[in-house]
Amino acid sequence: MAYGLLKGKKGIVFGALNEASIAWQAALKAHEEGAELVLTNTPVSIRLGSIDELARETGSVVIPADATSLEDLEALIDAALEHFGGRFDFVLHSVGMSPNLRKGKPYEDLNYDFYAKTLDISALSFHKLLHVLRAKDALNEWGSVVALSYIAAQRSFEGYNDMADAKALLESVTRNFGLIYGKERHVRVNTVSQSPTRTTAGSGIAGMEAMLAYADRLSPLGNADARDCADYLVSLFSDLTRHVTMQNLYHDGGFSSTGLTAEVVEAFSKGIDL
Ligand SMILES: NC(=O)c1ccc[n+]([C@@H]2O[C@H](COP(=O)([O-])OP(=O)(O)OC[C@H]3O[C@@H](n4cnc5c(N)ncnc54)[C@H](O)[C@@H]3O)[C@@H](O)[C@H]2O)c1
């Protein structure tokens, strides 16, 4: 059911690779709620994924950009301003990648060039994006910028590797840029800390299936999927959340507040495969 929550709003969505992507579901939902969209991803991901299908479905344009490149971000924001005929209202940063995870380098033996790349793609890119949005005064007052995070920013999750450090930095950028952008333009900046979700990025994490099963059993409401996440994101782009800023918002079915559930005990005591 659509509520028209984003009627008249315009926004950029980063990170829709394929139907499984959180950004894909967010774009569909934002469109359903009345938003006009620009979609973006790296040229490689545009070629290998299916973003053109999403663009057709949502009546959007696709503008390629590598989120680590200031030049690309500047060109993207200029093109979006032109496309929308002026300022816009929201941006979703749904971007993450760790070359160390991809190449199987463990946390205690990282390749440091890869480590720098992980931080650049998954966290610095958010600072760069906010910097360019602000420098070009591209967002309307009370605009909303949201990035996707994970609870490994607060607690150690073995196997999540250097992405944990990237998420901790991402959440810190959110607070520090949020303060400046909020005071100057009433723009809010938040992260959503999402349940483990079956996506291309998710599948790179060691033991992802076991992690999904464990999180599901530990979460009173069960894991939130990409569609649930899209619903929450739309609420953060809407006018219903105008005073929410500089927050890391858990969207995890209660996982982050739970120590133990009977379902986890049962799985271990009966030897059920997690
Ligand atoms: N899947 C999960 O379990 C989970 C849980 C919590 C948070 N997240 C976060 O959600 C976000 C989206 O990931 P997803 O799970 O939808 O996976 P996904 O693989 O569908 O999306 C990741 C996107 O990042 C893009 N990307 C990579 N490098 C880029 C660059 N240099 N410039 C621009 N874009 C780039 C990819 O092309 C891809 O579209 C990520 O930040 C991820 O860490 C995922």
Task: Name the catalytic one among 3, 112, 115, 160.
Answer: 160
Ligand 1 mean position to 267 CA, how many Å? 30
Atom number of ligand 1 nearest to Cα 201: 19
pLDDT of the residue at 206: 74
Q: What is the pLDDT of residue 273?
A: 64
Phi/psi zone of residue 34: left (φ > 0), alpha (ψ -120 to 50 degrees), beta? left
The domain covering 10-207+223-258 belongs, at the CATH homologous superfamily level, to: NAD(P)-binding Rossmann-like Domain (3.40.50.720)
Instruction: Give the closest residue to 86 by CA, choosing from 27, 145, 130, 143.
Output: 143
Average pLDDT over every residue of 69-84: 98
Q: What is the pLDDT of residues 141-199, one digit of tens each?
A: 999 999 999 999 999 999 999 999 999 999 999 999 999 999 999 999 999 999 999 99
Please determine, for residue 60, whether its predicted confidence score (pLDDT) is greater than 80. yes
Tell me which residue has tokens 């720098």.
116
**Residue 160 annotated as catalytic:** yes
What is the pLDDT averaged over residues 2-14? 97
And the tokens for 135? 């420098």
pLDDT digits (tens, 9 = 90+) for 35-48: 999 999 999 999 99
Mean pLDDT score, 233-241: 98
The residue contributing the CA closest to ligand 1 atom 20 is 21
pTM over 0.75: yes
Distance CA 33, CA 1 (A): 9
Q: Report CA(198)–ligand 1 centroid distance (Å).
A: 11
51-67 mean pLDDT: 98
> What count of other Cβ atoms lies within 10 Å of the Cβ of residue 104?
9
Please tell me the predicted confidence (pLDDT) of residue 268: 86
Q: Which residues of 39-57 are buried (b: 16+ CB within 10 A; e: fewer)?
A: bbbbeebbeebebeebbee
Is residue 74's pLDDT more than 90?
yes
For the Cβ of 51 lying below 6 angstroms from any atom of ligand 1, the answer is no
Residue 179: per-residue pLDDT: 98
Q: Tell me if 21 CB under 6 Å of ligand 1.
A: yes
Q: How much is the mean pLDDT over the chain?
A: 96
pLDDT at 204: 76
- Separation between Cα atoms, residue 150 and residue 160, nearest integer Å: 10
Q: Are 30 and 8 in contact (CB under 8 A)?
A: no
Pocket test for ligand 1, best of 52, 94, 255 (most atoms within 8 A of CB): 94
The encoded tokens of residue 220 equal: 């009173």
Report which of 86, 95, 94, 66 is spatially closest to residue 10, judged by C-alpha positions. Answer: 86
Q: Is 250 a catalytic residue?
A: no
**Marked catalytic residue, from 115, 150, 181, 214:** 150
Domain regions of the chain by residue span: 10-207+223-258
For the stretch 194-233, pLDDT in tens is 999 999 888 877 788 989 999 999 999 999 999 999 999 9
HEC letters along the chain: CCCCCCCCCEEEEECCCCCCCHHHHHHHHHHHCCCEEEEECCHHHHHHCCHHHHHHHHCCEECCCCCCCHHHHHHHHHHHHHHHCCCEEEEEECCCCCHHHHCCCCHHHCCHHHHHHHHHHHHHHHHHHHHHHHHCCCEEEEEEEEEEECHHHCCCCCCCCCHHHHHHHHHHHHHHHHHHHHHHHCCEEEEEEECCCCCCCHHHCCCHHHHHHHHHHHCCCCCCCHHHHHHHHHHHHCHHHCCCCCCEEEECCCHHHCCCCHHHHHHHHCCCCC
Task: Tell whether the model's pLDDT for residue 271 goes beyond 80.
Answer: no
